[in-house]
Amino acid sequence: MNKDKSNANKHEPDSINSGVIVGDNTNISGNVAGRDIIINNNYHQREIDELVRILDLRTERINNNLSMHFKYAEIKIYLDEFNILHKSHIESLKKGDFIYAHELLTQIHDLSYRLESDEFWSRHRIETPFLLYSLRPDSFTRGELICAYIVGDMRKYSDKYLGTELSDHNASKNNKDIIMIYKKITQSV
C-alpha cells in the first residue's frame, strides 16, 4: 500500500497528466486550480488591436468635434474626464481584462449622460415641474459622446446604438455578454 502511494507522487511517462487547452489550442499541462479563470477567450489579439484602433480614432473625432454640439456645458471638463477613462479603457482591453474594461465603458456612458443632462439644464436654467415630468427616463442616455464612441455616429439617439448594453447596470457581466458590445463596436465601422 505504501508502495502505491509513493508511485502516485512520481511522474510516470505513460500516465495521463491533467491540463487545460486554451482558445488557440495551446495545451497547458499540470494542475489547474483557481477562481474566475477565463479559459477559451475567443477574442484574439488581432481583434483587440482593431478595436483599440477604432476607439482611438473615435476618441480623436470626439476631441475635435464634440464642442460643436454643446454650447452651455463646460465641455473641457467632460473631455478631460473622457480622455482619462478612454486611456484606462484601452489599457484594460490590451490586457484582456474585459470585465474592468466594461466597467470603464459604463463610466464613459455615465459621463455622456451627465454631459447631456448638464447641457439641457444649463440651457433651460431652471428645473420646472413641467420640464422634469416631460423628460423620459432615458432622455440623456444616448448622447453624442457615447454614440460617437460606441458606433461612430455623433448624433443624439443614433439608431445604430440602443444604449441598453451599458445603461442597464443590473445586466449580467459574463464574458460572452461583455464581448458582444466590443463586437458591435468593430462591426459598426
- 140 and 116 Cβ atoms separated by less than 8 Å: yes
Indicate the pTM of the whole model: 0.63
**Average confidence score pLDDT of the chain:** 72
Q: What is the pLDDT of residues 22-61, one digit of tens each?
A: 555 666 665 555 555 554 455 578 889 999 999 999 999 9
Per-residue pLDDT, 8: 45
- 118 and 110 Cβ atoms separated by less than 8 Å: no
pLDDT along the chain (189 residues), means of 10: 48 50 60 52 76 95 89 90 97 91 92 87 64 55 76 65 51 62 74
What Å distances lie between residue 169 and 5, 23, 53, 94, 134, CA to CA? 52, 29, 27, 24, 24
Q: How far apart are CA 78 and CA 24, in angstroms?
A: 40
Q: How far apart are CA 101 and CA 89, in angstroms?
A: 5
Locate the domains of the chain by residue range: 45-187
Identify the residue whose cell numbers are 443590473.
170
Q: What is the pLDDT of residues 147-158, one digit of tens each?
A: 788 877 776 655
Per-residue pLDDT, 186: 78
CA angle in degrees (0–180, nearest 5) for 26-31-35: 90
Q: Which residues of 31-58 are buried (b: 16+ CB within 10 A; e: fewer)?
A: eeeeeeeeeeeebeeeebeebeebbeeb
Secondary element (H or E) of residue 136: none
